[in-house]
Amino acid sequence: MTISTAPAATPTRAPAPGAPAPQKRRRGGASGSRWVAAAFAAPLLVYLLAFYAYPLIRSIDLSIHDYNVRAFVQGNAEFVGLKNYIDVISSPLFGQAIWNTVVFVVGSLIFQYAIGLALAVFFRNNFRLSGILRALFLVPWLLPLIVSGSTWAWMLNSDNGIVNSVLQTFGIGQINWLTSPDTSMLAVVIANIWLGIPFNLVILYSGLQNISADVYEAASLDGAGPWRQFWSITFPLLRPVSAITLLLGLVYTLKVVDIIWIMTKGGPANSTTTLAIWSYREAFGTGQPDLSPAAAVGNILIVIALIFGFIYLRMQRRQENS
């Protein structure tokens, strides 16, 4: 979606690679059908080259040249090799952006997953209205991120926000959620947790559906209570699904721009500047696009996302083989 992002964190989902079902030889001559298959795939191949490969090559090209606005239009930017990368890595913001990214991703994932799992287990009970209520849980995930982001920004507003006024009734004084560097990260993580719960709930719920009821029956005959059943059956049997949910969530949370940008713009004092936000701000956050360093940050982000992406692919393959 992102879940998006989410929505982003538009968390979306990718079906597994190499769907099973061994292909049968077609009758009409192998070479003929080969061309037919290629013809059906041709639009996709052209599309991938034009709208994935080419933009990516351009972004690498941006990162190894020194592009300013004039060079952009004239196309005569100076080649600087890895200078942009060195500048970025040696910048004092680099360490902070990495740390913020880690806090944002790990903080979001742990709670999205824990709450999603608790809800999935809860909804496994087939009570009245459970289907409808579960469907309603999808709502936050389907809303445009800008909608959720601005709603949370208003709810967490220091003076007039509903969150502070609720806290006040418990005797907790005003918290400057979005304007204090101490709480801004917490604020965006809370919003992002909220956004990620539906994705976790849906995937973990369908994982639970695949655990046979017999196992639970046997366990309750042996006298295992619900708590024991969760730790000895549900959690271990769900482990592969959990791992995939978390890894996917990680890959998608790394990319999140919208929600943080709308709520804090990466501030105050860079306290919510993740790698993705840093890159976005360098490129488009000011009047003057400064694309070369932005592309360098973005490409570093790609490498990090791909490392975890490959871990995901390996895990999925291992699961397929087992």
Binding positions for another protein, 206-235, rule CB under 8 A: 206-207, 210
The footprint of another protein on residues 166-195 (CB under 8 A) is 168-169, 194
Contact between 318 and another protein per CB under 8 A = no
Q: Does residue 107 touch another protein according to CB under 8 A?
A: no
Q: Are 116 and 196 in contact (CB under 8 A)?
A: yes
Residue type, 85: Y
Q: What is the DSSP string of 186-211?
A: HHHHHHHHHHHHHHHHHHHHHHHHTS
105, 123, 184, 271: which one binds another protein (CB under 8 A): 123
- Least Cβ distance, residue 181 to another protein (angstroms): 20
**Residues 73 to 92 in contact with another protein, rule: CB under 8 A:** 73, 75
Least Cβ distance, residue 9 to another protein (angstroms): 11
Which of 109/262 has CB closer to another protein? 262
Nearer to another protein, 152 or 177 (CB): 152
Binds another protein (CB under 8 A): choice among 106, 110, 114, 139? 139
* Whole-angstrom distance, CA of residue 47 vs CA of residue 169: 56
Q: Which one of residues 57, 86, 106, 218 is an interface residue with another protein (CB under 8 A)?
A: 57
Stretch that binds another protein, among 81-89, 105-113, 177-185, 284-292 (CB under 8 A): 284-292
Tokens describing residue 108: 């979001």
Q: Which tokens is 296 given? A: 């360098």
Nearer to another protein by C-beta: 258 or 271? 258
Q: Which of 106, 162, 218, 269 touches another protein by CB under 8 A?
A: 162
Say whether residue 254 binds another protein (CB under 8 A).
yes
Count Cβ atoms within 10 A of the Cβ of residue 20 and give its class: 0-12 exposed, 13-18 middle, 19 or more buried. Answer: exposed
Q: How many residues does the chain have?
A: 322
Q: Which of 102, 106, 114, 136 contacts another protein by CB under 8 A?
A: 136
Contacts of 121-130 with C-beta under 8 Å, sequence gap 24+, read 121/208, 121/230, 121/234, 123/201, 123/205, 124/205, 124/208
d(CA 93, CA 211): 46
DSSP label of 9:
B
